[in-house]
Chain A
Amino acid sequence: MGTPASGKIRYQQGMPVVDTDVHVAVPSIAALYPYLSDHWHDYLVESGVRSLEVNTYPRGSDLSARPDARPDDPALPPGSTLEQVQGQLLEPWNVQRAIVHCDYGVHLLHNEDLAVAMARALNDWLADQWLSRDRRLCGSITVCTDRPEPAVAEIERLAGRPEFVQIALPARSQQPYGKRVYWPIYEAAERHDLVVAIYAGGGIGNPITAVGWPSLYLEDYVSFAQAFQAQLLSLVAEGVFVKYPRLKVVFIESGFTWIPSTMWRLDKNWKGLRREVPWIDRLPSEMIREHLRVTIQPLNAPVQVLDRVIEHLGGDTMLLFSTDYPHWQFEEPADAWPLALDAASLDRVLRESAIVTYGLDRRRPRPEGV
């Protein structure tokens, strides 16, 4: 296992984990028809809407699926059947719980009524086809964010169902998420003890960068960190964590190596600009450490400096193990978390921090035999 001399342990596949970033996919738009009204079903069919599959991870990109996560049927997207997810992820990785999310283009619809109907259908499909069939799976509530009222209505509809553990918002948005128009969502999330997850996705309206639309997928992909950074700054500066002190936010697939320098810069500038944000009563970095968690993929830092990154973050408690299944973020399974840690730290990263963050023991207890 590890080096006895150092007392540190290296992660190996098979150690029990909570996988906090698992993507499941809609096999085809027809899978959602049973969860739509006749009106919306006919509207989609008559309008020729064939798919709302997003291109954040285009099918042709190597990043989009590990070789061992490609579907047998090439007509299907990766991660679109329960059997695949069980066989390719839950079993071999000894996943005790998986936080699953489905990004299916709901946020790209300009028709708000259609978007709300699709979000409902997606959530119902997720509950029916996934969460009720494997108790290791914990779901994300997809909501539309054009206006907060429909989002809150959807949260209220599903909040009583313990198989849903978070609300999923795409990182790319119309406005920064700290703005008060979004606060009813946070109020509902805090009230229902639901995490607010912000995931690498979205794409309506604004370019991914502040200097315009990039030409290349490489730029688009790497620039997601900018979107996450902007969201984090907004949440902190606008006082979302002051107004909703029990709110927890998880960044999914944001990377985490940019977070320390953001915290330093934010701390420093806050000291001189305090009077603009007088509701911030402590170091922004402390607020971030308390309220923000991040899934570990993509894990960009070379392993040689990873311990220093953790030191810069102020410890490991922000980090939540993830595979980002089916996306291809590492070579060997052991590379999913390449840094040897002491037993307590490793347990936090692999399982415990996620269990605490999502309240899993209370909300979605571990199934028998897992």
Chain B
Amino acid sequence: MGRYTVATVDEIPPGGRKIVELQGLSIGVFNIGGEFFAIRSACPHKGGPLCLGVVTGFVRADTPGRYEYLRCGEVIRCPWHGWEFDIKTGLSWIDPNRLRVKSYAVAVEEVTPAGQAAASHATELRDAGLIEGPYRAEVYPVTVDKATRLVTVEV
């Protein structure tokens, strides 16, 4: 366990990313609208380099031909098989094996401010009609020191 300074704020502009190796783990640090998120660059599906994937939004449709495009810049698609993950929470938003399970609670180990944010974020997405899957990429808390403008990841 440790806290690592990985970048200055200027190094990772909004929409950008930086991939670093911490404690032998490849971790991608993303700037989404000025907020920073860190996610392990190992896809829980088959281990692909998740953080090298395309960052995009989430497409959903109530009916064929009508597209709703949500969460632009918050979804990363693994370059190996295209599976989609929410960068902020690491949750994959699709796994059909679990779609039959009607209730799928988001387990939050501690009710930290970060945990609360993740839970309410998940609720928002669920309300928008997205269905969670059980695959989850590892995420790590990221803090930014406003004075020094340094980005720190806790692994």
Q: Does A332 contact B (CB under 8 A)?
A: no
Interchain CA distance A180-B66 in the complex, whole Å: 13
Considering only CB atoms, which chain A residue lies closest to B62 in the complex?
Answer: A279
Interchain CA distance A242-B60 in the complex, whole Å: 13
Interfacial chain B residues near A274, Cβ < 8 Å:
82, 84, 94
Q: Does B34 contact A (CB under 8 A)?
A: no
Interfacial chain B residues near A243, Cβ < 8 Å:
63-64
Interfacial chain B residues near A286, Cβ < 8 Å:
96
Considering only CB atoms, which chain B residue lies closest to A241 in the complex?
Answer: B64
**B96 touches which of A278, A279, A282 (Cβ 8 Å):** A282
Q: Does B81 contact A (CB under 8 A)?
A: yes
Interchain CA distance A180-B59 in the complex, whole Å: 21
Per-residue 0/1 for B40-81: is the Cβ within 8 Å of any A Cβ (1 yes, 0 no)?
Answer: 000000000000000010111111110110000000010001
Interfacial chain B residues near A270, Cβ < 8 Å:
96
Q: Does B131 contact A (CB under 8 A)?
A: yes
Say yes or no: A281 contacts B63, CB within 8 Å: no
Q: Does B99 contact A (CB under 8 A)?
A: yes
Interchain CA distance A133-B153 in the complex, whole Å: 81
**B94 touches which of A238, A271, A279 (Cβ 8 Å):** A271
Interfacial chain B residues near A273, Cβ < 8 Å:
82
**A278 touches which of B56, B67, B77, B97 (Cβ 8 Å):** B67
Interchain CA distance A238-B97 in the complex, whole Å: 22
Minimum CB–CB distance for B126 against chain A, Å: 14
Number of interface residues, chain A, beta carbon within 8 A: 19
Per-residue 0/1 for A156-195: is the Cβ within 8 Å of any B Cβ (1 yes, 0 no)?
Answer: 0000000000000000000000001000000000000000
* B86-107 interface (Cβ within 8 A of A): 94-97, 99
**B84 touches which of A239, A275, A283 (Cβ 8 Å):** A275
Say yes or no: B59 contacts A275, CB within 8 Å: yes
Q: Does A267 contact B (CB under 8 A)?
A: yes
Interfacial chain B residues near A180, Cβ < 8 Å:
64-65
Interfacial chain A residues near B60, Cβ < 8 Å:
278
Interfacial chain B residues near A283, Cβ < 8 Å:
96-97, 99
CB within 8 Å for A267 and B64 given contacts A272-B81, A272-B82: no
Interchain CA distance A243-B64 in the complex, whole Å: 7
Considering only CB atoms, which chain B residue lies closest to A267 in the complex?
Answer: B96
Interchain CA distance A275-B75 in the complex, whole Å: 11
Interfacial chain A residues near B56, Cβ < 8 Å:
275
Q: Does B83 contact A (CB under 8 A)?
A: yes
Say yes or no: A239 contacts B99, CB within 8 Å: no
Interchain CA distance A26-B58 in the complex, whole Å: 54
Interchain CA distance A24-B2 in the complex, whole Å: 78
Interchain CA distance A227-B59 in the complex, whole Å: 30
Say yes or no: B64 contacts A239, CB within 8 Å: yes
Per-residue 0/1 for A251-287: is the Cβ within 8 Å of any B Cβ (1 yes, 0 no)?
Answer: 0000000000000000100111111001101110010
CB within 8 Å for A272 and B83 given contacts A239-B64, A243-B63: yes
Say yes or no: A242 contacts B64, CB within 8 Å: yes
CB within 8 Å for A271 and B83 given contacts A278-B59, A281-B131: yes
Say yes or no: B61 contacts A278, CB within 8 Å: yes
Interchain CA distance A140-B99 in the complex, whole Å: 36
Considering only CB atoms, which chain B residue lies closest to A238 in the complex?
Answer: B64
Considering only CB atoms, which chain B residue lies closest to A282 in the complex?
Answer: B99
Which of B56, B64, B131 gathers most chain A CB within 10 Å? B64
CB within 8 Å for A279 and B81 given contacts A271-B94, A271-B96, A274-B94: no
Interfacial chain A residues near B68, Cβ < 8 Å:
278
Interchain CA distance A273-B83 in the complex, whole Å: 8
Minimum CB–CB distance for A340 against chain B, Å: 31
The 9 closest A-B pairs by CB, nearest first: A272-B82, A239-B64, A278-B61, A283-B96, A279-B61, A272-B81, A275-B59, A278-B59, A279-B64
* 30 residue pairs A–B, Cβ–Cβ below 8 Å: A180-B64, A239-B64, A242-B63, A243-B63, A243-B64, A267-B96, A271-B81, A271-B82, A271-B94, A271-B95, A272-B81, A272-B82, A272-B83, A273-B82, A274-B84, A274-B94, A275-B56, A275-B58, A275-B59, A278-B59, A278-B61, A278-B68, A279-B62, A279-B65, A281-B131, A282-B96, A282-B99, A283-B97, A283-B99, A286-B96
Query: 20 other contacts beyond A271-B82, A283-B97, with CB at 8 A cut-off?
Result: A180-B65, A238-B64, A239-B61, A240-B64, A242-B63, A243-B64, A271-B83, A271-B95, A272-B83, A273-B82, A274-B82, A275-B56, A275-B58, A275-B59, A278-B59, A279-B62, A279-B63, A279-B64, A281-B131, A283-B96
Residues of B within 8 A of A (CB): 56, 58-65, 67-68, 77, 81-84, 94-97, 99, 131
